[in-house]
């Protein structure tokens, strides 16, 4: 759904040893939402993106990035 967006959620989850369900519970979204963001099928809202960044204590750019060569932004 919508434009492509790279993300490092799977890596960050692994670093924090969290399951999708645990991460979903921590930022108050459903597991389906996390799993679809993770595989790049769903581009999250700004609020969810900021919640993820805050939870992992990193800037949002370290969680999400535009694909290389994407000049549409």
Does 7 help bind other proteins (rule: CB under 8 A)? no
Does 71 help bind other proteins (rule: CB under 8 A)? no
Does 54 help bind other proteins (rule: CB under 8 A)? no
Per the listing, tokens 């692994």 go with: 14
Can you tell me which of 3, 4, 19, 58 binds other proteins, judged by CB under 8 A? Answer: 19
Can you tell me which of 6, 30, 58, 67 binds other proteins, judged by CB under 8 A? Answer: 30
**Which of 60, 64, 16, 58 is CA-nearest to residue 38?**
64
CA distance 46 to 64: 11
Residues that bind other proteins in the complex, under the rule CB under 8 A: 1, 10, 13-14, 17-22, 24-25, 28-33, 35-39, 41-42, 44-45, 47-48
């Amino acid at each position: 759904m919508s434009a492509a967006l790279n993300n490092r959620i799977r890596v960050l989850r692994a670093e924090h040893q969290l399951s999708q369900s645990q991460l979903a519970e921590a930022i108050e979204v459903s597991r389906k939402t996390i799993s679809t963001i993770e595989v790049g099928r769903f581009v999250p809202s700004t609020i969810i993106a900021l919640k993820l960044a805050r939870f992992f204590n990193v800037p949002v750019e370290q969680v999400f990035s535009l694909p290389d060569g994407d000049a549409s932004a």
